[in-house]
Amino acid sequence: MRMKWGLWLLSLLLGAAATGAWAAPPAHLALVIDDLGQTPLRDRRVLALPGPVALSILPDAPHSRELAEAAHAAGKTVMLHLPMDPATGPYAWHPGLPASELEKRLDAALRRVPHARGLNNHMGSRMTAQRPAMGWLMQWLQQEHRFFIDSRTSAATVAAAEAQKAGLASLSRDIFLDDDQSPAAVAAQFQAALALARKQGSALMIGHPHPATLELLERELPRLKAQGFELIDVEMLIALRGNRAMAAHGKAGIYR
């Protein structure tokens, strides 16, 4: 009897190995495309990307509302790309503005981008270093049941740390795909994202609707599953990470 059970267990193990039933779980990737609502042709290409790609839309772009409506209808995650100093314009946040003016600009921006489930900063190298304003924003988002993504446009950002203190659903960007817009540089950054996801289990990429970026994503996103990656929604990645900082952004899960 023991021999029969041993043979059965051996056959089970061999079968699992052959079918990949016990293969390692996939590494997870999430993707946000910023600066949308400016050019319908580029917007449509982003909207057509396969999988749960989040669209972050500028409130002062000429096509922001129509893109937000189209993205929502297509089941995509809509985000507000909130301008922050040194960005300018009627919706931009700047140091020194009172909370009442910050809220007024935020409310107006959200009216321009309906269905926004969360937001990330557009520019903001100065503004995201302002702890009182970031603390106010995270408390406001918590009350409104929206999430926040820190684009990390500055090493001095305190936005993610304030989001964590508030218990807000949030993430920090791991990889910018296209600071350098050349095809070779974008491809290198995409590979860096894959390598980071393999190392730490997940990676959050932010890109922009540049020609090289769109060409790479149209080509590479359909290939991810075969390479052992799963593209997931940003809100799923928030849940997966449980608001904990990755090693590059903090220590023991706490943002610096």
pLDDT class of 25 with cuts at 50, 70, 90: confident
pLDDT of residue 131: 97
Asked if residue 233 belongs to a domain, the reply is yes
Asked if residue 14 belongs to a domain, the reply is no
CA dihedral 234→235→237→240, nearest 10 degrees, is 180
Asked if residue 198 belongs to a domain, the reply is yes
pLDDT in tens, 175-190: 999 999 999 999 999 9
Asked if residue 10 belongs to a domain, the reply is no
Asked if residue 130 belongs to a domain, the reply is yes
Q: How many domains does the chain have?
A: 1
pLDDT in tens, 68-79: 999 999 999 999
Asked if residue 145 belongs to a domain, the reply is yes
pLDDT above 70 covers what percent of the chain?
Answer: 91
Asked if residue 203 belongs to a domain, the reply is yes
pLDDT of residue 253: 96
Length of the chain: 256
Domain harbouring 150, CATH code: 3.20.20.370
Q: Find out whether 97 and 88 touch, Cβ atoms under 8 Å.
A: no
Give the range of the structural domain holding residue 177, as residue numbers without chain letter: 26-255
Asked if residue 4 belongs to a domain, the reply is no
pLDDT of residue 155: 94
pLDDT class of 22 with cuts at 50, 70, 90: low
- pTM, two decimals, is 0.90
pLDDT of residue 11: 52
Given a cut of 90, is residue 236 above it in pLDDT? yes
